Chain A
């Protein structure tokens, strides 16, 4: 459904951030993009949503296609109209707007008032806690509520693809599980296609069907979630397990440092 063909992204005309990233997000699935800080995960999402240009970044090579039509030259508000919406990391709510106003702002591309109302009710169904907090300024919501709000706000544009950037960042493990469960429900009940960027590989690989690993602006590994979970490199570097599958201990005197196979 959403395809990136060998894209290259340059910031400020000189800094090469993505060096040929290709990935495919199949319709109705959850695909995850794993990688460390600075690997280029967020840049990949911004390239898709068209937000690079506002940061003086540019897709210089390759193409991004949605259902076979190119979207890499479109301004962000047109990309949203096409049904691709990005949820930023770090719970970027409109702080000075109330919860409900945040949702209304999220429905900007929706012309029909009635549909906006329905959209708000749908978000409250998935996130009942937001209904209770509807009149509160979003800046005063708790971290978990803010994460729910940004996902709900993105839903208001009735997207076909949601680009979800690190929803687990800085949240308590229980909340993270709750939010991941809701993402999974959205995926199943609303046929929402999700591209999930995560550092929490364990969790991401449990809800995704397919995964990619990005490092230094390149895709270094891809496969089904099962295959990735079984991959020795992934276990070592992203799941924090040794080859035997036991939790890594730093107390062992001699600590064998595994070399990433994809580097050779």
Chain B
């Protein structure tokens, strides 16, 4: 294969994977934007969603669309319930309390998932052919295209929601100052619940696309780790940032795998994004699109 063709292949693969990372990062961003909470259980949300969809698909023999709908409903309920039962009680506590709660939650979910649905890897088959889509020199697996399209659609949808809709503006107001938002008649708790439910939606979709790509087992939760470089690069609270961060991480890990792996024997894919993340933290701690602390002079 020619050199430029190889580069192009890595690049296109990186872009598509990156968009799928962006989808999961979106779940993280939504919660951070509205509630200022850092959700360390984002990957586990995706894993649980994958398990639920697979359970409907395989155990109950439900059609795919119904399984996805059930997965969505389950994750929305899960988001609402989690906010009600745990996170609402932590409002007003130090950030570290919420962080620790989500880390604990992550461990619990990683236990509950395999315990309930079994530890074997399940196949979440979408009715898409495995035949790669050939575009000139590029071979693109159709599942990645589906993932990228779903990601873009939801990123655009949530972007519109936050910029234009009144509910979205209220949600940003809550993120800006909970106390002032309360004084303006905004029911802050309700918006917290909404944010977690929205994360549920995104996680459910993430569970479907990533689950069909990687198979559903406890390791599906590992995609959550890729969220951190994505959101640090893009900015913790920025939707365009999630896209750009996702693309950067996707491209960097593919390029690293393509060019560096042959010399060191593999594995660069997993840590290259983190090297970038640390560099980003040193240069631009609020990310490419993150909200800066406004200081008037």
A: residues with CB less than 8 A from B are 49, 51, 54, 75-77, 80-81, 85-86, 88, 92, 94-97, 101-102, 104-109, 116, 137, 139-140, 142, 153-154, 157
Binary CB contact string for chain B from 54 to 67 against chain A (1 if under 8 A, 0 otherwise): 00000000000000
Contact yes or no, A94 B183, CB < 8 A: no
Contact yes or no, A54 B179, CB < 8 A: yes
Please tell me which stretch of B36-44, B165-173, B220-228 contacts chain A, meaning at least 4 of its Cβ atoms lie within 8 angstroms of it. Answer: B165-173
Contact yes or no, A139 B296, CB < 8 A: yes
CB-based nearest A residue for B171: A105
Contact of B184 among A96, A142, A153 (CB under 8 A): A153
| Top 4 closest pairs, chain A to chain B, by CB | A80-B185, A139-B294, A105-B173, A109-B185
Instruction: Give chain A residues whose Cβ lies under 8 Å from the Cβ of B92.
Output: 54
Contact yes or no, B172 A101, CB < 8 A: yes
Is B177 close to A, CB under 8 A? yes
Contact yes or no, B294 A94, CB < 8 A: no
Size bracket, chain B contacts: 20 to 34
Contact yes or no, B182 A96, CB < 8 A: no
Contact yes or no, B185 A76, CB < 8 A: yes
Binary CB contact string for chain B from 177 to 190 against chain A (1 if under 8 A, 0 otherwise): 11111111111100
Contact yes or no, B179 A108, CB < 8 A: no
Binary CB contact string for chain B from 183 to 218 against chain A (1 if under 8 A, 0 otherwise): 111111000000000000000000000000000000
B116 CB to closest chain A CB (Å) equals 37
Is B176 close to A, CB under 8 A? yes
Is B88 close to A, CB under 8 A? no
Instruction: Give chain B residues whose Cβ lies under 8 Å from the Cβ of A153.
Output: 184
Contact of A88 among B172, B183, B188 (CB under 8 A): B183
A154–B180 CA distance with the chains assembled, in angstroms: 10
Contact of B180 among A92, A96, A101, A109 (CB under 8 A): A92
Q: List 10 A-B contacts (CB under 8 A).
A: A77-B185, A86-B183, A92-B177, A92-B179, A94-B177, A96-B172, A107-B166, A108-B170, A108-B184, A157-B185
Known interface pairs A108-B166, A139-B296; A95-B176 also in contact (CB < 8 Å) = yes
B47 CB to closest chain A CB (Å) equals 33
Given contacts A54-B179, A153-B184, 20 further A-B contacts (CB under 8 A): A75-B187, A76-B183, A77-B187, A77-B188, A88-B179, A88-B180, A92-B177, A94-B172, A94-B180, A95-B176, A96-B175, A96-B176, A105-B169, A105-B170, A105-B181, A105-B184, A108-B173, A108-B184, A108-B185, A140-B296
Is B284 close to A, CB under 8 A? no
Contact yes or no, B176 A94, CB < 8 A: yes
Instruction: Give chain B residues whose Cβ lies under 8 Å from the Cβ of A86.
Output: 183
Contact of A137 among B175, B185, B187, B294 (CB under 8 A): B294
Contact yes or no, A85 B169, CB < 8 A: no
A150–B169 CA distance with the chains assembled, in angstroms: 16
Known interface pairs A105-B169, A108-B170; A96-B291 also in contact (CB < 8 Å) = yes
A245 CB to closest chain B CB (Å) equals 40
A178 CB to closest chain B CB (Å) equals 20
Instruction: Give chain B residues whose Cβ lies under 8 Å from the Cβ of A81.
Output: 185
Known interface pairs A96-B294, A105-B184, A108-B185; A51-B179 also in contact (CB < 8 Å) = yes
Contact yes or no, B183 A97, CB < 8 A: no
Interface residues of B in 244-279 (CB under 8 A from A): none
Contact yes or no, A85 B180, CB < 8 A: no
Interface residues of B in 90-142 (CB under 8 A from A): 92
Binary CB contact string for chain B from 133 to 164 against chain A (1 if under 8 A, 0 otherwise): 00000000000000000000000000000000
Instruction: Give chain A residues whose Cβ lies under 8 Å from the Cβ of B181.
Output: 94, 105
Instruction: Give chain A residues whose Cβ lies under 8 Å from the Cβ of B182.
Output: 51, 54, 76-77
CB-based nearest B residue for A103: B169
Contact yes or no, A104 B179, CB < 8 A: no
Contact of A85 among B166, B173, B185, B187 (CB under 8 A): B185
Instruction: Give chain A residues whose Cβ lies under 8 Å from the Cβ of B175.
Output: 96
Contact of B186 among A51, A77, A97, A154 (CB under 8 A): A77
Contact of A157 among B166, B177, B184 (CB under 8 A): B184
Known interface pairs A54-B92, A88-B180, A101-B169; A108-B294 also in contact (CB < 8 Å) = no
B36 CB to closest chain A CB (Å) equals 13
Known interface pairs A97-B176, A140-B296; A51-B291 also in contact (CB < 8 Å) = no
B211 CB to closest chain A CB (Å) equals 35
Instruction: Give chain A residues whose Cβ lies under 8 Å from the Cβ of B296.
Output: 139-140, 142
Which of B175, B176, B294 counts the most chain A CB atoms within 10 A? B176
CB-based nearest A residue for B91: A54
A18–B169 CA distance with the chains assembled, in angstroms: 36
Contact yes or no, B184 A97, CB < 8 A: no
B185 CB to closest chain A CB (Å) equals 3
A247–B281 CA distance with the chains assembled, in angstroms: 57
Instruction: Give chain A residues whose Cβ lies under 8 Å from the Cβ of B183.
Output: 49, 51, 76, 80, 85-86, 88
A154–B181 CA distance with the chains assembled, in angstroms: 11
CB-based nearest B residue for A154: B184
Known interface pairs A92-B177, A97-B176; A105-B186 also in contact (CB < 8 Å) = yes
CB-based nearest B residue for A75: B187
Instruction: Give chain B residues whose Cβ lies under 8 Å from the Cβ of A54.
Output: 92, 178-179, 182
